[in-house]
Structure formats: structure tokens, C-alpha cells
């Protein structure tokens, strides 16, 4: 889930291939990063919470929120998770 833009811009990391050009001066060297909220249930039989932990470590500036419950808690426990999402987006 993407949230507001993070407060900083980072130099774009490029691989060994040809550089990508946006055609806009100044944009070719900087990229705006979005903060990411990673939500995961601690008792999810479909996607173990370790996956969310790894994802949060690999995404720059990601925030991890583990909630009690499984895969469907985003639907069944929306009243508990809505404030987490609202606080992140706000």
C-alpha cells in the first residue's frame, strides 16, 4: 500500500544497462520514493508473516504492521486496521 511521498528524494540506482531518460530536466537523476505500509496477519496460513518482514526490510522506508489474525482480517477486522491505514496515509 503506497502512502504519502517520503520527505526525501534519492538518487536513482541504475543497473549495468543503458540509463533510462524521462525527458524532463532534473528528473533523470532523482526519483521520488513513496513510503510503503506492509500489513500482514500473524496467523496467515496462505502468506506467512516472515514474507512481510522480508518485504519491509527490502523496501526503502517501509513500515511494517503485523496484526493478530489471518489472511481475511483486512476484511473481517477492518474496524481495527482502518486506524492504522488512516494514520499512515494522514
Domain map (residue ranges) of the chain: 2-11+24-89
pLDDT of residue 35: 83
pLDDT of residue 68: 92
Could you report the average pLDDT of every consecutive run of 10 residues in the chain (90 residues)? 50 45 55 79 93 92 92 88 92
pLDDT of residue 5: 52
Q: For residues 62 and 36, is the Cβ–Cβ distance under 8 A? A: yes
pLDDT of residue 11: 45
Tell me the residue ranges of DSSP E strands in the chain: 2-11, 30-41, 63-67
Amino acid at each position: 500500500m503506497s502512502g504519502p511521498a517520503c520527505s526525501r528524494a534519492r538518487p536513482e540506482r541504475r543497473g549495468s544497462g543503458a540509463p533510462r531518460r524521462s525527458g524532463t530536466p532534473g528528473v533523470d537523476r532523482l526519483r521520488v520514493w513513496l513510503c510503503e505500509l506492509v500489513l500482514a496477519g500473524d496467523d496467515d496460513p496462505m502468506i506467512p508473516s516472515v514474507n512481510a518482514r522480508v518485504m519491509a526490510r527490502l523496501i526503502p522506508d517501509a513500515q511494517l504492521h503485523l496484526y493478530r489474525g489471518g489472511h481475511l482480517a483486512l476484511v473481517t477486522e477492518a474496524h481495527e486496521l482502518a486506524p492504522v491505514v488512516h494514520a499512515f496515509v494522514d
